[in-house]
Amino acid sequence: MNWLKAFRESAEKVCALYADDFLFEDLILDQSITDKAELHRVFAPYANTDRANGIGINRFRIDEYIGDSHSGIIRWSWEPDGAAAFLGVPTGGKPFSTSGQTFHIYDEDGRIRRESTYWDAVAPLAAIGLALSVHGGVAGRPPRSPAEHRDGASVAPAGHPGPRAA
């Protein structure tokens, strides 16, 4: 698959695989990109070859492709060997990896017209020592109840009369 192989070479090689009119979405990072210059900026670190700069040497593997020449899902794995941080969290030199799925729709020339990617961000954070609670948030902080707003104010769920005065 040329798509993941291109990441090892350069952002230019990857961007050349996209149609002139395209949509790239990374749902985890809340990215929605339609501009090739912005796409190039986002993809540039993946071709890093300098082990000392903290970006890491990015190793991608295709685990499975389900589709045809019109569209398909690519199941992939990724390991950034030597990355100093992940999503802004220092790795402390600990190795980590993740996996994800990318859906592609191709134009008549085989270039990517639409891409939507979804991947596991929790496993790498756990691997580098950031303990996450299954109930939401970082371990050690009690999870919010469904009836509690982010600002701490208590509210009653729909159809519930609310807290009774003691």
Beta bridge partners of 24: 33, 115
d(CA 48, CA 78): 14
Q: Which two tokens stand for residue 161?
A: 């009369």
| Entry pTM | 0.75
Are the CB atoms for 88 and 57 separated by under 8 Å? no
CB 118 within 8 A of CB 101: yes
User: Structure tokens of 30?
Assistant: 């809340």
The per-residue pLDDT for 56 is 94
**pLDDT, tens digit, 9 for 90 and up, residues 125-160:** 999 998 776 665 555 444 455 444 444 443 333 333
Give the model's pLDDT for residue 44.
92
Name the phi and psi angles at 148, rounded to 5: -115, 125
16 DSSP 8-state letter: T
Query: For strand 57-67 and strand 71-81, is the pairing parallel, antiparallel, or unpaired?
Result: antiparallel
pLDDT in tens, 11-24: 999 999 999 999 99
Residue percentage of the chain with pLDDT more than 90: 68
**How far is it, in rounded angstroms, from Cα 54 to Cα 38?**
22
Given this model, what pLDDT does residue 152 score?
Answer: 46
In the predicted model, what is the mean pLDDT of residues 96-102? 96
85-86 vs 112-119, strand pairing mode: unpaired
User: How far is 83 from 42, CA to CA, in rounded Å?
Assistant: 16
Query: What is the average pLDDT score of the chain?
Result: 84
Name the residue with higher pLDDT: 163 or 134: 134
The whole-angstrom separation of Cα 114 and Cα 111 is: 9
| The predicted structure's pLDDT at residue 5 | 82
Q: So what's the pLDDT on residue 138?
A: 54
| Cβ atoms of residues 136 and 128 within 8 Å | no
pLDDT tens, residue by residue, 31-59: 999 999 999 999 999 899 998 999 999 99
Q: What is the distance between the alpha carbons of residues 95 and 73, in angstroms, rounded to a whole number?
A: 27
The yes-or-no verdict on residue 88 having pLDDT over 60 is: yes
